[in-house]
A and B are shown apart, each in its own frame.
Chain A
């Protein structure tokens, strides 16, 4: 009888330790920082085509300290299961001028509405961004990229 009691206590302690580590892992990965693998042509030459390991931080977008020039991770407005990496070009109230390279090089100007940001990839010729799907609500921003870890020859902070 006593052995079962001891066994139950041991199981509870182990479960609690596991829960503690799992929750610490979750809180760090969602509220502090985490490494992410990023690939694709839309942010050339800043980010490589074949893949970079980037450190993303989750503090700036919660305190509202994001501005033009920041590389951010955004949940795509076209497919909520995908997260895209783009650069903020304009925040709410800014007047943004852009051109679509394949659409006859016509220039358009737009004012970013309240609560939205205008994001563009650095490689304007191979990027689907706000020029196609319009300004995105600030609530879709998931995090900000601040440091590159891999490949080692471009180790260092990002913009």
Chain B
């Protein structure tokens, strides 16, 4: 009878422990999701379209472990206020499930010169012109045109991985842009 009661108590204790573990996991999952949606999150950068800023070496030996992981902040989405040279993460206009990382070259009202076609394009209201730092292997606004600012999901501020490349991501100016001001 003593063993029976002991068995019952240990069963209940295990039950309580499991229940509180589940509740804690759920709470921290919710908090993590909220923080990553509203404030900041960490994203891996794939591909070499932003070389040498991100992924300067194409190291297929280590695979995705050697990809740069960057800190993306979401405070810029309160007013959608960006500056020239910001590195942003946005949904691809041709496939909303894909996200790309590129640098903002032009904001609404700017004129962008495309050396390929000797054309000058004006960035419409509510859009931006994005280009990769490595123009030879970057699919950007030179192919799909200016993108609506509503597609932007965050701004990259720091590289967090690998440890030897931890640094702040700087703004860079571009020579092909002509601002009205």
Contacts and interface: CB of A to CB of B under 8 A. Distances in A.
A5 interface: no
A19 B38 CA distance: 13
A95 interface: no
A115 B94 contact: yes
Nearest to A74: B150
Chain B interface main SS type: mixed
A22 B34 contact: yes
Interface residues of A, number: 25
Contacts of A116: 93-94
Interface residues of B, number: 26
Contacts of B31: 19-20, 23
Given A115-B92, A115-B96, A16 B126 contact: no
B18 interface: no
A111 B27 CA distance: 46
Contacts of B27: 16, 19-20, 23
Closest 7 CB pairs of A and B: A139-B91, A75-B150, A139-B96, A115-B94, A77-B148, A23-B30, A80-B149
Interface of A: 16, 19-20, 22-24, 26-27, 30, 75-81, 113-116, 136-140
